[in-house]
Structure 1
Amino acid sequence: MVAKLQTSKYDVQVDGQGCKACGYCLEVCPKNVFDQADYFNAKGYRPVRVKAAGDCIGCRRCFFACPDFAIDVNKKPAEEDCREKNI
């Protein structure tokens, strides 16, 4: 029997020009997906950047915590991984 395992990944994006570096996303992310950027945006803030998008579990805590609506989390289409199992 062939079992199909669904794996889903998430696309995480930060609007670097809209981010005011409050750090809320850094505090609420259970997977440490974010870190501080090494540049300043036009408003003079060091915005947050995505450092490990592949670790995102899609909880969207960052999205709801961001007071500037600078974070977007979208589910990518699921990939199917077919492996044989003896059942």
Structure 2
Amino acid sequence: MVAKLQPSKYDVQVDGQGCKACGYCIEVCPKDVFSQADYFNTKGYRPVQVKAADKCIGCRRCFFACPDFAIDVDKKPAEEDCREKNI
């Protein structure tokens, strides 16, 4: 029996207080994961927010493009790993 490979899932987080709304992540993301927020952070910027984390392919272009180190992209454990570890 051949096991089907499940696409990897990623957890994408933006530090809304650290983001200065440059928009580089929006420009470099090939899957349209980010959008501009409807609110202002404490520094007066409209930070970027994650609008579609389920579309993330884990390329981390956003992570490397962010000059403020406000984005984290982490691979979620596979469902099989979660079941084995009781996560």
The answer for the alignment partner of 1:5 in structure 2 is 5
CA distance in 1, matches of 2:37, 2:66: 16
CA displacement, residues 22-51 of structure 1 (integer Å, 9 cap, x when unaligned): 000010000000000000000000000000
The two structures, once aligned, show a CA RMSD in angstroms of: 1.2
Q: Relative CO higher for 1 or 2, CA cutoff 8 Å, sep ≥ 6?
A: 1
Which consecutive unaligned segments of at least 5 residues does structure 2 have?
Answer: 81-87
Percent of counterpart pairs with the same letter? 89
CA distance in 1, matches of 2:78, 2:56: 14
Which consecutive unaligned segments of at least 5 residues does structure 1 have?
Answer: 81-87
CA distance in 2, matches of 1:5, 1:21: 36
Structure 1 outlier segments of 4+, above 3 Å: none
- Conserved 8 A contact 1:24-1:66: yes
How many residues are treated as equivalent by the alignment? 80
Q: Kindly indicate which of the two structures has a greater share of residues assigned to strand.
A: 1
TM-score by length of 2: 0.87
Q: Kindly indicate which of the two structures has a greater share of residues assigned to helix.
A: 2
